[in-house]
Amino acid sequence: MRIAACIALLTAMAGAALATEIPLSERRSGYSFMSADTRAMQDEDTANPGMLSVLDGETLWKRKAGTADKACADCHNDARVSMKGVAAHYPAFEKALGKPVDLEGRINVCRTNHQQASPFAYESRDLLALSAYVAQQSRGEPIAAGDDPELAPFVEKGHALFMQRQGQLNLACTNCHDDNWDKKLAGSAITQGQPTGYPLYRLEWQALGSLQRRLRACITGIRAQAYDYGSLELVELELYLMTRARGMPIETPAVRP
Amino acid sequence: MPSALINVPKKAKRGDVIEIKTLMSHIMETGYRHTASGDVVPRDIITSFTCRFNGAEVFRADLYPAIAANPFITFFTTVTESGKFEFEWSGDKGFSETAQASITVE
Amino acid sequence: MVIVRPADATPAMLQTAIRNVVGEANVRTGKVKLDIPPLVENGNTVPMTVSVTSPMTADEYVKSIHVFNEKNPQPNIGNFYLGPRAGRAQVSTRIRLADSQKVTAIARLSDDTFWSATADVVVTLAACTEEAI
């Protein structure tokens, strides 16, 4: 039934006009497409299940780990000060690696280099909790990723991936999120695909999930092979999405249907 | 490492009716799902929630698999004196968690 | 990979679950208000509030509130026990609805009469964007 809905959509989109980027004044968070009930869940911290992970993250922030026997707090002190605005600049260029890393990747760099512990697995409870805690310190801060000139070629690659048709449905991200964001797909809003709330609590998942998880879901949805967690392609897509969302406030931990 | 979020006003006047909001992290696995190989994913839910004030029960709930993951429960109570609310969640696989919140009544 | 096997509670199961709570008593409509969105974006997390008209005094109060559904594998959703000191007979929670269906809330008052309210909920399916995990 879901497949049928996708095929119907594909047919409807076959004649869609050439993609155009969404102007700043028309950028809308997924929040604005949600029902009042789902918005209320995000608006109030004690009603927002994403805040449970933020709490876990706060505990982990203070917990010593690795051969270095250091906690994040030992080096970064109070996250409310040291991590304010940080997530709004991610993915960022990581000199030592010669490529961009997203916030989860950056936390794992600290985990391996500074704590001398094994990196957290992608989508593990601990990595989600720490990234939610760090990103929540940027709530309300405008997204400002992609300034570093070293990032230019990676933003370009991310943009190309966003425009590229793929999968059995032969659709590109842009076909849904630039051209058809005002439409509905099998009853739910398509939206502009803005990355403002991650990691976020998705009702469908009944759990917190990362932007990479969300992107993999969209890629699987068009019947294409999803890139692996942590792959450069996903980071490039995240980077492009963040530059495309410049100026929009961070909402972490957001709630989405 | 389950977390709970409790919202109880810090202060109230004697006789006030206050709202209490609670959110507990738990997957609430229904026991009605199957893996691709056909095995049942065993039920793992919170079955009971209790709130006591200064030792006396003021609210209790029986929960079933139809309660959403990370149970959110809100209810009301009349405050008569300063004291401590104690919250307790228990369920399958020996799950048992508690949380507390104090209130000052003027 | 987890797949969901649809298995609905039958009307008989629902009736039995309700009888387990009310016994032979007559259930009347009224006094109970069931607030639940008529159209929900995802059946996994549906906000719901039940409130009962009652003075909530020592001799006239709500003892308990019981919520049932028609089509989940099990008819019970939750039982909530209050008492006169609740001050206000109102509880909220978030529930799962496997499909569009009716939800019924029944309140037991201090005089052991039972009152109910029923609401219809339409659950829109999630789009084609994610398979079960």
**What's B16's domain CATH number?**
2.60.40.10
How many residues can be counted in chain C? 133
Q: Rounded to an integer, what distance in angstroms lies between the CA atom of residue A238 and that of residue A232?
A: 10
pLDDT level of residue C7 (50, 70, 90 thresholds): low
Lowest-pLDDT choice from A206-215, B29-38, C118-127: C118-127
What digits encode the pLDDT tens for the residues B36-88?
Answer: 888 999 999 999 999 999 999 999 999 999 999 999 999 999 999 999 999 99
Nearest residue, CB atoms, A187 vs list C125, C131, C133? C125
Whether ipTM > 0.90 holds is: yes
Q: Rounded to an integer, what distance in angstroms lies between the CA atom of residue B54 and that of residue B58?
A: 10
| CATH for the stretch A34-256 | 1.10.760.10
The confidence score (pLDDT) of residue C131 equals 42
The confidence score (pLDDT) of residue A165 equals 95
DSSP class of residue A117?
-
State which amino acid sits at residue B45.
I
What digits encode the pLDDT tens for the residues A109-143?
Answer: 999 999 999 999 999 999 999 999 999 999 999 99
Q: Rounded to an integer, what distance in angstroms lies between the CA atom of residue C83 and that of residue A195?
A: 46
Average pLDDT for residues A65-71, to the nearest whole number? 97
The confidence score (pLDDT) of residue B99 equals 96
Provide the residue range defining the domain that includes B64. 4-32+41-105
Domain residue spans in chain A?
A: 34-256
Q: Rounded to an integer, what distance in angstroms lies between the CA atom of residue B75 and that of residue B58?
A: 10
What distance in Å separates residue A4's CA from the closest CA in chain B?
A: 22
* Closest residue by Cα to residue C125 from C8, C13, C4: C4
Quote the crossing angle between the two packed helices A152-163 and A232-244, to the nearest 10°.
90
The pTM for the full model equals 0.90
Q: What 3-state DSSP class applies to A251? A: coil
| pLDDT score of A196 more than 60 | yes
- Among A3, A185, A204, pick the best mutation site for testing chain C contact (most C Cβ within 10 A): A204
Q: What are phi and psi of B35, to 5 degrees?
A: -80, 170
A41 and C124 within 8 Å at the Cβ level: the answer is no
Cβ atoms of residues B85 and B51 within 8 Å:
yes
Cβ atoms of residues B31 and B65 within 8 Å:
yes
Q: Give A-chain residues touching C40 at CB under 8 angstroms.
A: 35, 37
pLDDT level of residue A13 (50, 70, 90 thresholds): low
The confidence score (pLDDT) of residue B1 equals 59
What is the DSSP track for A23-40? PGGG---GGGGS-HHHHH
How many structural domains are present in chain B?
Answer: 1
Q: What are phi and psi of C16, to 5 degrees?
A: -65, -45
Q: Which residue spans within B1-106 are E strands per DSSP? A: 4-7, 11-12, 17-24, 33-35, 46-53, 56-63, 72-78, 83-91, 96-105
Q: Give C-chain residues touching A3 at CB under 8 angstroms.
A: 128
Q: For residue B72, what is the nearest residue in chain C, using CA coordinates?
A: C93
| pLDDT score of C95 more than 60 | yes
Domains of chain C in start order, with CATH, are 12-124 (2.60.40.2470)
Q: Give A-chain residues touching C41 at CB under 8 angstroms.
A: 34-35, 38, 188, 203, 257
The confidence score (pLDDT) of residue C129 equals 38
pLDDT level of residue A9 (50, 70, 90 thresholds): low
Mean pLDDT for chain A?
Answer: 91
Q: Which residue has the tokens 């190309």?
A: A160
